[in-house]
Structure 1
Amino acid sequence: MAQGRGSAVALGLALLCLLIHSEIANAATYVVGDSGGWTFNVAGWPSGKRFRAGDVLVFRYNPSDHNVVAVTAAGYGGCSAPRGSRVYTSGNDRITLARGTRYFICSFAGHCQAGMKIAVTAA
């Protein structure tokens, strides 16, 4: 009888792995700003796209000219990066989306105000 329970647990784990693999396989990768990359006037870039939890955003930019900062809705609206905000500076940042809305800005002076910000909602 113990072997039967062990087989059921193994089958359950195998199904769980298959489900996780299937979710990962369905994840999409998006280059923010498409061929123009992370630059000015990208605020409308997410329009018309359907993002899902697990999708990956790739921010491509020159790190001496820009950065990417994950901010709150207030930080997005006010173009400000609150203390403790996560700052990305590689020039090729990959960010996996969780369910909900994520906000990103460039914190270089005037860049966010020039439209270098996006809000992305993942289902």
Structure 2
Amino acid sequence: MAARIVVALACIVVIIRLSEAAMYKVGDSAGWTTIANVDYKLWASTKTFHIGDTVLFEYNPQFHNVMRVTHAMYRSCNNSNPISTFTTGNDSVTLTNHGHHFFFCGVPGHCQAGQKLDLNVINPTSSRPLSDPPISSDSSSPSSPPSTTTIPAAGVPGPSPSHAASLPNSAVAVVAALVSCLFANFAY
């Protein structure tokens, strides 16, 4: 019986953590591009990123990519040795720890033109708002499922304000499975 209670409590913790996760489409309706003159620094400053949140980079892979880099590489737009490179055009990255995460497009000239992003994930001890307003959707959905990668931060702290999206469909499915798990453990 004690083991069932422990499993049930673990399920509840996971459900609570997943319910707090948000998904952000980088650049909102413009996506990850140089054409729309998106100010990615401004875009990121209007969000509050938390551990477990997901950022989605949508772009044309014939013209762009996404590189995760160190702070020094970010500052100088040095793409010689990225931490990781994404090339699908529909890349989903889950943020797993607090601090800054640095990204830019590795196509020559794109980082220098402003296609670079510094995401700051707040310290887990900071409080999360009870509810965040949903971001507007451009009602377009990706033609293929996003590739998902979980990455650690580059390790530079600092907070920012928020506008979060709702749970991704995959998280809803996981929550549903965990609820089933929870009720199954109490059925005996």
Question: Structure 1-normalised TM-score?
Answer: 0.88
Q: Which residue of 1 aligns with 2:10?
A: 16
Question: Aligned runs of 1:29-108 on 2, under 5 Å?
Answer: 29-40=23-34, 41-83=39-81, 85-99=83-97, 100-108=99-107
Q: Which structure has the larger Rg over C-alpha atoms?
A: 1
Structure with the larger strand share: 1
Report % sequence identity: 41
Q: CA RMSD in A?
A: 1.3
Q: Distance in 2 between matches of 1:46 and 1:25?
A: 22
Give the total of aligned pairs. Answer: 117
TM-superposed CA distance for 1:122, in Å, is 1.1
Structure 1 unaligned regions, length at least 5? 1-6
Q: Distance in 2 between matches of 1:84 and 1:112?
A: 13
Q: Which residue of 1 aligns with 2:111?
A: 112
Letter paired with 1:103: F
SS of structure 1 residue aligned to 2:61: coil
Q: Deviations over 1:44-85 (max 9, x none)?
A: 210121110010000000001000001111111111124252
Letter paired with 1:69: M
Question: Structure 2-normalised TM-score?
Answer: 0.59
